[in-house]
Amino acid sequence: MHSLKLIYAFLKMNIQMSLAYRADTVVNILLNLMWLGWELLSLNIIFSNTQTLGGWGIGELIALLGVFRLVNTLMIALIWPNTEKFNQSIRDGSMDYTILQPANSMFLVTFSRITVWRFWDLILAIILIVIGINMSGDLITAPQILTFILLALSGIIVIYSLWIVLIALTFWFTKFDNNVTILQALLDAGRYPATVYPVWLRVIVTFIIPIAVATTIPLQALRGELAFNQVLIFFFIGVASFIIASRVWKSGLKRYSGASS
C-alpha cells in the first residue's frame, strides 16, 4: 500500500519536473503526438498485410507486438531515465542520500524517474494485446488468458531483474555507463517470435537471453501450447530472477559501502 503511495508521489514529482520548462514541454507534446501518429500508421501497415510468420497468425502477432511494446514502455518510461539518474547519482554521490532513506533502495532507484510523456505507449500496448487476443478467435479460453497475463508479468519481472543486475554491476566497476545499452540490444532480439529463429538460437534467446520469456512464452500460453508444468517453470523463473536480482543489489550496496569514500 505504501509502495503505491510512493509511486504516486514520484509520479506527481515527475509530472512537475516535466512541466518545469515551458518550451521543453511544448516540444515534448508535439514530438509525442508525431510519434503516436507514426506508430498508428505503421500498425495500419501491419494490419493491412495479413500474413503469417513462423506459423503465427495475424492476431497472435499483434498480441506479441503488444507484449513487446509493453516491455518497450517499461524501458522508455522507467529503465532508461532511472539508469541515467542512477549513473549520475553514483558519480555525484547523491546515491548516499538514496541509501540513507528509510525505504527499499531498489524500489527508490526503480521509480524515482518516470518518463510521463510515454503513458500512451502503455495504453497502446494494452489495446494491441486486447485486439490481438480478439482476432485470434474464439478458441481462447479464460485460463489461457490468465496464464498469458501471469507469464507476461513474470517475463517483465525477468527483464527488470536483468536490469537491476546490470546497474548493480556499477557498484563494483564504479563506471559502467553502457549497462542499459546491453539490455536494449538483448531486448531487440525479442521483437520477433522466438520460433522464427533456428533451434540453437532459440535456446539462447529463451534461456540465456530471457527476452523470449517476456514475449514469446506468454503468447504460447495464450495459444494453449504450454503444459501446466511448463507454465509453472516459467513463472518460477520470474520469481527466481527477482530474488537473485535483489541479492545482487544487496551485495552491490555492501560493496559500495565498503569501497567508496
Partner 1 sequence: MTPTISVQQLSKTYEVPEREGGFSAAVRSFFKRKYKDVKAVQEVNFNIEQGEVVGFLGPNGAGKTTTLKMLSGLLHPTSGTANVLGFTPWELKNDYLRSMTLVMGQRNRLSWDIPAADSFLLNQAIYRIPDDEYKETYKELDELLELEPLMKKPVRNLSLGERMKCEIAVGLLHRPKVLFLDEPTIGLDITGQARIREFLQEYNKRTGATIILTSHYMADVTALCERIIIIHHGQLKYDGGINDLSKKIAPFKLIGVLMENADAHDLSQYGEPVENMEDADKKFIQVKADEVTRITSRLLADLPIRDITIADPPIEDVIEQAFNA
Q: Which residues bind partner 1 (CB under 8 A)?
A: 2, 5-6, 9-10, 12-13, 16-17, 20-21, 92-94, 96-97, 99-103, 108, 254, 257-261
By beta-carbon proximity to partner 1, the closer residue of 64 and 95 is 95
The residue behind cell 520469456 is 213
Helix/strand/coil for 198: coil
Helix/strand/coil for 67: helix
By beta-carbon proximity to partner 1, the closer residue of 16 and 42 is 16
- In whole angstroms, the minimum distance from the beta carbon of 21 to partner 1 comes to 7
Report the alpha-carbon distance of residue 160 to residue 62 in Å, rounded: 23
The single-letter DSSP state of residue 130 is H
- Residue 217 in contact with residue 147, Cβ under 8 Å? no
By beta-carbon proximity to partner 1, the closer residue of 95 and 151 is 95
The residue behind cell 514469446 is 216
By beta-carbon proximity to partner 1, the closer residue of 102 and 198 is 102
- What are 193's three cell numbers? 517470435
Q: How distant, in Å, are the alpha carbons of 35, 84, 104, 118 from that of 32?
A: 5, 21, 33, 8
- In whole angstroms, the minimum distance from the beta carbon of 45 to partner 1 comes to 39
- In whole angstroms, the minimum distance from the beta carbon of 100 to partner 1 comes to 6
- In whole angstroms, the minimum distance from the beta carbon of 36 to partner 1 comes to 25
- Residue 93 in contact with residue 122, Cβ under 8 Å? no
- In whole angstroms, the minimum distance from the beta carbon of 146 to partner 1 comes to 33
- In whole angstroms, the minimum distance from the beta carbon of 35 to partner 1 comes to 23
By beta-carbon proximity to partner 1, the closer residue of 17 and 34 is 17
By beta-carbon proximity to partner 1, the closer residue of 73 and 110 is 110
Report the alpha-carbon distance of residue 222 to residue 211 in Å, rounded: 17
